[in-house]
Amino acid sequence: PDHIHLVLSIPPKYSVSMVIGYLKGKSAIHIHRKAEGVKKGFIGRHFWSRGYCASTIGLDEEMIRAYVRDQEHLDKQEELDFTQNP
For the stretch 21-60, pLDDT in tens is 898 888 887 877 777 676 666 666 667 777 777 777 666 7
* Contact present, 32 and 38 (Cβ < 8 Å): yes
Please give the residue that has the higher pLDDT: either 32 or 19.
19
Whole-number Cα distances in Å, 63 to 3, 25, 29, 31, 77: 20, 29, 32, 30, 19
Catalytic annotation, residues: 67
pTM greater than 0.75: no
Confidence check: pLDDT of 1 > 70: no
Tell me the C-alpha distance between 62 and 37, whole Å.
39
